[in-house]
């Protein structure tokens, strides 16, 4: 990560002209001399990670630190209305346009598709005063955030909100835009309609077998059989009477549902737990263990949501107006896009020597914390860049220094000992650890 690369990311996602255009087109910028719209929007986005009290109170302090004219707390909170929500939503759409255009890194078994996408949701509890606008499943207020993560970039490529009471499945729409992509989905999004759509639109999907589904085995590609197999046998009967219990792998063609949807089912035997089954439309270019490893990559979105909550304060919403809630959620997710962009741009160019990576990759959580501590300096640099009286060399040197600090503090300290399953599938092999040589001047 170099200074120009860091600057390009920040200025591409949060440029002055875009902030000004969005503030004007959404009506957030009005004839109010005490409201500096561009400075406020940038502060809101960059300081979404700055803890120190309630989110809105933190934003007010950060905004005043930029030198903006001070206003009373009540007037400041009035700015969190529908125009601000519209402005943040538009900035979110622009940020997602940036992420979707990034080159992907999908070597090995991750290839064969344009990119793999992971979708999952998380529920955010809200102040009880918002229960009428955001009813939860119980006696509380809540909203659900749905995220789609790119495996090839590690960045958010889509997100939206829904009532917490609604089931996840209707919020996944498989259509022509998915053609050529791969999907790793949680059981919350499992449905026969989605599997049918994946078959129709040429989507490679991997999902766990849902309880209650009754697959019928039509053909055996790989299994240890103990007796004659009859096509159309229920999976439970197949396991009890046909397949050898000591077999470690099952790979069969099945049909599911009244319309007999054809799918591939693989099973991996887990010691002490029996078989773990996966339904997939991926052909046999990938073996059962590779399918299981591919599904394990779904954990990346769990880690991403954890970073959003712990580092970017996704579940720390103290607003009492619906528009303000959605505006703050947009701010956090745009901050997540910024973090993901920094990590991806750096990680994909880490030098290798004979297939061994010479430096650890950046860790999303550590980078998020670093950007938090540097939020005000980043905002100041963006402001200085547009000032003709500033020295361009001094500005470039400051960008380079900040980029160096981001890399130094953002490298994963545990990666060499335990690289993630995604890193392993990419072939990111760490430099072997070397034992320290004993000093000849050891004291007895």
Number of domains in the chain: 1
Each residue's pLDDT tens digit, 203-224: 999 999 998 899 999 999 988 8
Question: Is residue 90 a part of any domain in this protein?
Answer: yes
Taking the model in full, what pTM does it have?
0.87
Question: Is residue 438 a part of any domain in this protein?
Answer: no
Each residue's pLDDT tens digit, 92-144: 999 999 999 999 999 889 999 999 999 999 999 998 999 999 998 888 999 99
Query: 177: pLDDT confidence band, cut at 50, 70 and 90?
Result: very high
Question: Is residue 293 a part of any domain in this protein?
Answer: no
Instruction: Specify which of 139-143, 238-242, 261-265 reaches the highest per-range mean pLDDT.
Output: 261-265
Percent of the chain with pLDDT over 70: 92
Longest dimension (CA), the chain: 85
Do residues 343 and 364 lie in contact, with contact meaning Cβ atoms separated by under 8 Å?
Answer: yes
Question: Is residue 311 a part of any domain in this protein?
Answer: yes
Q: Is the pLDDT of residue 235 over 70?
A: yes
Tokens for 336, please give them.
């997540």
Tokens for 67, please give them.
């030198």
Q: Is the pLDDT of residue 442 over 50?
A: no
Each residue's pLDDT tens digit, 342-396: 999 999 888 777 777 888 899 999 998 888 778 777 877 877 776 778 888 899 9
Phi, psi (deg, nearest 5) at residue 442: -75, 135
Question: Is residue 119 a part of any domain in this protein?
Answer: no
Give me the mean pLDDT over the 248-265 stretch. Answer: 93
Question: Is residue 167 a part of any domain in this protein?
Answer: no
Domain around 74: 3-101+301-425
Q: How far apart are CA 98 and CA 101, in angstroms?
A: 5
- The CA-based angle 361-364-370, given to 5 degrees, is 100
Q: Where do the H-state alpha helices sit in 181-286?
A: 192-201, 235-237
DSSP state of 15: -
Instruction: Specify which of 195-199, 325-329, 425-429 reaches the highest per-range mean pLDDT.
Output: 195-199
Instruction: Specify which of 52-56, 75-79, 244-248, 260-264 reaches the highest per-range mean pLDDT.
Output: 260-264
Task: Return the bridge partners of 148, or none.
Answer: 119, 158
Question: Is residue 257 a part of any domain in this protein?
Answer: no
Question: Is residue 162 a part of any domain in this protein?
Answer: no
Please state which of the ranges 136-140, 148-152, 239-243, 269-273 shows the lowest mean pLDDT. Answer: 239-243
More confident residue, 134 or 61: 134
């Amino acid at each position: 990560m170099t200074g120009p690369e860091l600057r390009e990311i920040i200025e591409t996602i949060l440029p002055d002209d875009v902030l000004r255009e969005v503030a004007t087109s959404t009506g957030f910028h009005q004839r109010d001399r005490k409201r500096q719209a561009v400075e406020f929007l940038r502060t809101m986005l960059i300081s979404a990670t700055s803890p120190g009290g309630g989110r809105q109170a933190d934003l007010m302090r950060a905004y005043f630190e930029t030198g903006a004219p001070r206003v009373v707390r009540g007037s400041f909170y009035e700015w969190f209305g529908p125009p601000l929500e519209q402005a943040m939503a538009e900035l979110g759409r622009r940020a997602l346009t940036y992420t979707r255009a990034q080159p992907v890194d999908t070597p090995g078994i991750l290839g064969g598709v344009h990119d793999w996408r992971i979708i999952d949701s998380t529920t955010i509890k809200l102040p009880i005063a918002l229960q009428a606008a955001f009813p939860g499943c119980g006696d509380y207020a809540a909203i659900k955030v749905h995220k789609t993560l790119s495996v090839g970039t590690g960045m958010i490529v889509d997100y939206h909100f829904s009532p917490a009471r609604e089931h996840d499945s209707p919020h996944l729409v498989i259509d022509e835009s998915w053609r050529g992509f791969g999907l790793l989905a949680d059981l919350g999004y499992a449905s026969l309609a989605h599997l049918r759509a994946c078959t129709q639109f040429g989507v490679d999907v991997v999902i766990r077998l849902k309880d209650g589904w009754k697959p019928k085995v039509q053909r055996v590609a790989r299994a240890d059989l103990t007796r004659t197999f009859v096509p159309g046998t229920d999976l439970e009967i197949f396991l009890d009477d046909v397949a050898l219990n000591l077999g470690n792998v099952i790979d069969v063609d099945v049909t599911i549902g009244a319309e007999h949807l054809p799918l591939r089912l693989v099973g991996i035997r887990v010691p002490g737990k029996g078989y773990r089954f996966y339904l997939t439309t991926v052909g046999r270019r990938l073996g059962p263990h590779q399918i299981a490893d591919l599904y394990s990559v779904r954990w990346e979105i769990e880690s991403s949501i954890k970073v959003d909550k712990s580092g970017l304060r996704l579940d720390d919403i103290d607003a009492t107006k619906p528009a303000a809630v959605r505006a703050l959620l947009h701010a956090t997710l745009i901050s997540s896009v910024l973090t993901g962009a920094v990590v991806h741009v750096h990680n994909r160019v880490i030098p290798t020597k004979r297939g061994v990576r010479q430096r650890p990759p950046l860790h999303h959580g550590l980078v998020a914390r670093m950007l938090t501590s540097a939020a005000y300096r980043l905002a100041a640099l963006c402001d200085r860049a547009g000032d003709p009286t500033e020295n361009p060399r001094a500005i470039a040197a400051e960008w380079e220094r900040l980029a160096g600090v981001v890399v130094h503090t953002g490298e994963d300290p545990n990666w060499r000992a335990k690289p993630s399953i995604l890193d392993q599938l990419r072939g990111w092999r760490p430099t072997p650890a070397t034992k320290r040589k004993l000093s000849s001047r050891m004291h007895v």
